[in-house]
């Protein structure tokens, strides 16, 4: 099991989750952050730290966020960031890039 960052993080990137993660498994892209599914120890500390409730346990993902399980996983694969499993985000130059779904995600408009 792992935790998953969903769409509410896109263009917010508060960063509180990174500061509280005990294993440094949350990696930064340009528009959102991603939890490494193999490095996450499933502690759940990040859930309450996020001010926009963007983080879920994988087994409790709402249906409208279900694709973010794959998005968080695929971000680390060769065809996206190619990061693999570096064992911690602190030494990674950031931001790296984003998953194609996040790249194409509509930019929220703020009222004039």
**Binding residues vs ligand F3S (CB under 6 A):** 5, 9, 12-17, 33, 49-50, 52, 54-55
Question: Which CB atom, from 50 or from 80, has the smaller least distance to ligand F3S?
Answer: 50
Instruction: Find the shortest distance in angstroms from Cβ 17 to ligand F3S.
Output: 3
Element (DSSP H or E) covering residue 22: none
For residues 20 and 49, the answer to whether their CB atoms sit within 8 Å is yes
Instruction: Find the shortest distance in angstroms from Cβ 36 to ligand F3S.
Output: 14
The number of helices, as runs of H, and strands, as runs of E, in the chain is 4, 4
Among residues 66, 60, 68, 35, which one has the least CA distance to residue 49?
A: 35
Question: Which CB atom, from 13 or from 99, has the smaller least distance to ligand F3S?
Answer: 13
Instruction: Find the shortest distance in angstroms from Cβ 65 to ligand F3S.
Output: 12
């Amino acid at each position: 099991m792992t935790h998953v960052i969903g769409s509410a993080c896109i263009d917010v990137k508060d960063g509180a989750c990174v500061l509280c993660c005990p294993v440094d498994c949350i990696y930064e892209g340009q528009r959102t952050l991603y939890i490494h599914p193999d490095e996450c120890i499933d502690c759940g500390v990040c859930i309450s730290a996020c001010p926009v409730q963007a983080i879920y346990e994988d087994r409790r993902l709402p249906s409208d966020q279900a694709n973010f399980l794959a998005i968080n996983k695929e971000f680390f694969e060769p065809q996206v960031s190619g990061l693999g499993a570096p064992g911690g985000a602190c030494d990674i130059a950031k931001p790296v890039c984003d998953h194609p779904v996040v790249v194409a995600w509509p930019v929220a408009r703020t009222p004039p």
